[in-house]
Amino acid sequence: MLPQLVRRRATRAAALLAAAALLTGCGSGSGSNGGQAAPITGLKIMAPAAPGGGYDQTSRAMQKDLQDTKIASGVQVFNVEGASGTNGLKQLADSKDDNLLMTMGLIMVGGIQTTGSEKTLKDTTPIARLLAESEVLVVPAESPWTTLEGFLESWRQDPKNTPIAGGGAGGSEQILLGLIADQVGIDPGQINYVANSGGGKALEKVLSGEVKAGLNGVSEFKEQIDAGKLRALAVSGDNRSKLLPEVKTLKEQGVGLSFYNWRGVHARPGLSDSDKQKFTDMLTRLHDSEAWKKTLVDNDWEDYFLTGAEYSSFVDSENERARKVLTDIGLVK
């Protein structure tokens, strides 16, 4: 079982910790194994954010592995940017296309709360939860901050003038940043968070110097860290990232917090039971494949697979608890 997705030492914010249990890991599950059917054709996967971010990476990894394993053929991936993924959510909710899937996750759960989206995840058909990953805090290579301690000291002094880029408003990065702030004595309401449509856009802002720091998935920032253009200060998981083994965790550096993001797959509302089972079987076969297992390792993604009624219940609980967390840290009124 995946470690608890948010774990904190007891602090004055015990109530916030209880609310943050939205990220608590659930047991693994799977749907029917299905038969070795002919490859599924005509499949389209929407990444509801800009190219280069976590939704995009997950969608294209699914595309490659579904095709390489001959589970599906001719899979198309396209991007719909904006509004913390809720522009893509609206497109899916209004769709009648039985062959359309959308990658989603914690960022969208929070984004629905903060954007006031007219569409919610109740307007979709949940199929499966796929993976979870650690986040990484970075600064530009030329930044004066060479350690997490130095960054936090400066951030405490002037949080409003320390812009930090991440994904969509109300998403995993903004939640994590609020939790870090609370842990180190900063009022979460004073944070200067710069929301973006995906990790690719956040990366651009960090590299250009438009912001002082960035927060996103390890796999999204790794290339520029390896190239020496970004300096990684900390990762958010319980353990160091296999992709960035030299970078210490938040907990190793005195911040009593661990945190993971997660991603799943949804289809249009009103999908027939047979089509829902078809996609559940498809993703179960993908999950069980050696190709997908390698993809998880290569991207330092945690296996976090869940389908069926258990996954639907997980999404419902995430939605309700997200509202509590975002309210407690001042992001939702």
Task: Identify the DSSP state of 194.
Answer: E
Examine the pLDDT at 15 and tell me if it is beyond 60.
Answer: no
Report the chain's mean pLDDT, rounded to a whole number: 89
Looking at the predicted structure, is the pLDDT value of residue 27 above 50? no
Which of 50-54, 76-80, 85-89, 268-272 has the lowest average pLDDT? Answer: 50-54
For residue 235 the two structure tokens come to 């990762």
- Which band of pLDDT confidence, cut at 50, 70 and 90, is reported for residue 29? very low
**Fold equal for 24-132+261-328 and 134-259:** yes
Categorize the per-residue pLDDT at 12 as very low, low, confident or very high, splitting at 50, 70 and 90.
Answer: very low
When pLDDT is averaged across residues 101-111 and rounded to a whole number, the result is 94
Q: How far is CA 248 from CA 256, 259, 312, in A?
A: 13, 14, 35
Handedness of CA 137, 141, 144, 150 (dihedral sign): positive
Q: How confident is the model at residue 132 (pLDDT cuts 50, 70, 90)?
A: very high
Q: How confident is the model at residue 56 (pLDDT cuts 50, 70, 90)?
A: very high
How wide is the angle at C-alpha 226 spanned by C-alphas 223 and 229, nearest 5°? 85
Residue 150: is its pLDDT beyond 50?
yes
pTM equals 0.79
Residue 14 above 70 pLDDT?
Answer: no
Instruction: Specify the 3-state DSSP secondary structure of 231.
Output: strand
Name the residue ranges covered by the structural domains of the chain. Answer: 24-132+261-328, 134-259
Supply 140's token pair.
């530009």
* Furthest-apart CA atoms within the chain: distance in Å: 61
pLDDT classification of 325: cutoffs 50, 70, 90: confident
pLDDT, mean of residues 294-314:
95
Residues 6+ apart with CB under 8 A from 36: none
Give residue for tokens 């990762």. 235
Reading the block at residue 144, the tokens are: 């004066």
Is 267 a residue whose pLDDT tops 60?
yes
Local confidence band at 36 (pLDDT 50, 70, 90 cut-offs) = low
How far is 106 from 117, CA to CA, in rounded Å? 15
3-state DSSP call for residue 130?
strand
pLDDT of residue 320: 81
Instruction: State which CATH number among 3.40.190.10, 3.10.20.30, 3.30.420.10, 3.40.50.1820 fits the domain covering 134-259.
Output: 3.40.190.10
Can you say whether the dihedral through the CA atoms of 295, 297, 300, 303 is positive or negative?
positive
User: What band does 271 get if pLDDT is binned at 50, 70 and 90?
Assistant: very high
Q: How far apart are CA 247 and CA 112, in angstroms?
A: 32
Q: What confidence category does residue 300 fall into, taking pLDDT thresholds of 50, 70 and 90? A: confident
Residue 303 DSSP one-character state: E
**Higher pLDDT among residues 14 and 239, named by residue:** 239
287: burial class by Cβ within 10 Å (0-12, 13-18, 19+)? buried
* pLDDT at residue 134, rounded to an integer: 94
The helix (run of H) or strand (run of E) holding residue 330 is: none
Please write the tens of the pLDDT for every residue from 65-99. 999 999 999 999 999 998 889 999 999 999 999 99
Helix, strand, coil shares of the chain, percent, nearest 5, are 45, 20, 35
CATH (residue range 24-132+261-328): 3.40.190.150
pLDDT in tens, 167-218: 888 888 998 998 899 899 998 889 999 998 777 889 999 999 999 999 999 9
- C-alpha distance from residue 283 to each of 40, 55, 65, 108 (Å): 11, 16, 11, 21
